Structure 1
Amino acid sequence: MSNVCVIFDLDGTLVDSETLGTEALLELVPDLNEPLETLIDAYRGQRMATILADVERRLNRKLPKDFEHHYRDHASARMQTHLQPMPGVVEMLQELTYPLAVASSAPPAKIQLALEVCGIDHHFGENVFSCYDINAWKPDPAIFLHTAQAMNVSPGQCIVIEDSDVGVAAALAAGMRVLRYRFPHASSEVIQFPEMHLLPGLLREVSATLI
């Protein structure tokens, strides 16, 4: 199976951080009068600059210049005490024998913290890649192409596990196969699955079709 590399998104795919992050945002901006689920759906997979610009649009006012710094500190504190892996992730990772990597839009420190808090960092080692390292964010395919190069595989040897529209678009643009977790995507190019225990079987099926 060394000819196949499996690349995971982080937030909402490996770890249940999207709810925590949005709750932290609402705690700091209580006048953001939107339902939690609405904001989670709107911000899934988006970079922080895009999220904060949308928050300002919804509020019709500017946020303080140091807001992002305070938000990241607040969200990090919540992660250290409340973050959990997505259901079934721990057991799923124990089944896999492929080379594994993480390619995330989150800052490197957040990625590492999330993996360590959830006890799954040992599955990835140093194969953890951030959009902040290359200054390009999904749906730009650059992070996935960068990850493939670092893992010494071609895009055609990569299977990406994603949950967001922008992540799926980035992986497809990189020429990689995509398995989408939980959220339907209207594309014949994307295989969708609702629960993590199904992923090892899907990976076996898809990897058999790769060159």
Structure 2
Amino acid sequence: MSNCFLFDNDGTLVDSEYLCNVGLVLMFRRHGIELGADELVIRFRGWKLASLLSILEEEHEIKLSANFVKDYRKIVSELFDNELKPVEGVIDVLESLKGPKAVVSSGPMHKIKQALDLCGLSKYFGDNLFSSYEVGIWKPDPGIYLHAAKEMGYSPDRCIVIDDGPVGVKAGCEAGMKTYFFNRFNEECDSAGVVSFRRMAELPELVGT
């Protein structure tokens, strides 16, 4: 039986983390607050949006409007339309990995689908898309990956997680799955058994295809 590959989306399949945080920079600028997109990428990759906004509200002593998320999503969607690209080397990787594949993301479903469509990746996953917003579970809770495995018909020990965020790596490990950390920023990882790599092209050899 083949392995089942469970991919994170933002920053793993599509090069969207920076664009998502540019959206936050633009939104907070409306409040006279200057944030750095690069710093936000490092700090909040894979986080639930509501959680990171709550922290930023507290740090900057502001209360965001009820329309903030809607306006933010619109800005990000426009940035995606104009600038989104697949992660370098990921198409070759998806072509070479033999076995079913799914996307397991903390983002809303419409954002997942838009990103995959724009980057030409939808054909590799079909309907195997799992969003925290639909499941009601956010990384680092391992439940999101366990749910995806169950729906795909695979036991955790036959699943391989590929994620670029520390919270996602933690979720994969705690789900009992072999976890590969797409570690573009050369960060420390204290989760036991994680395989860290910096270039997507390295992945097929690491998983033994």
TM-score between the two structures when normalised by the length of structure 1: 0.93
Pairs within 5 Å for 1:43-192: 43-182=44-183, 183-184=186-187, 185-192=189-196
**Tell me, which stretches of 5 or more residues in structure 1 are unaligned?**
206-211
Distance 1:123 1:15 in 2: 13
- Shift in Å, 1:25: 1.2
Is the Cα contact below 8 Å between 1:8 and 1:103 reproduced in 2?
yes
- Please give the residue correspondences for 1:16-55 in structure 2 after superposition, counting only pairs within 5 Å: 16-30=15-29, 31-55=32-56
Once residues 32 and 164 of structure 1 are traced to their aligned partners in structure 2, the CA distance between those partners, rounded to angstroms, is 25
Q: 1:144 & 1:119 partners in 2: Cα distance?
A: 24
SS in 2 for 1:29: helix
Structure 1 residues 8-41: Cα deviation after superposition (integer angstroms, max 9, x where no partner): 0001111111100111111121133332221111
Amino acid at match of 1:41: I
Which residue number corresponds to residue 207 of structure 2? 203
Please identify runs of 4+ aligned residues in structure 1 that moved more than 6 A: none
| Aligned-partner residue type, residue 195 of structure 1 | R
Contact 2:25 2:36 (C-alpha < 8 Å) held by counterparts: no
> Which residue pairs with 2:10 in the alignment?
11
- Structure 2: gaps (5+ residues): none
Q: Which amino acid aligns with 1:200?
A: P
Aligned counterparts of 1:85 and 1:54: Cα–Cα separation in 2:
29
CA distance in 2, matches of 1:151, 1:187: 25
Q: CA RMSD in A?
A: 1.3
- Cα offset, 1:189, TM superposition: 1.0
> Helix, strand or coil: the match of 1:34?
coil
Rounded Cα–Cα distance in structure 2 between residues aligned with 1:75 and 1:35: 16
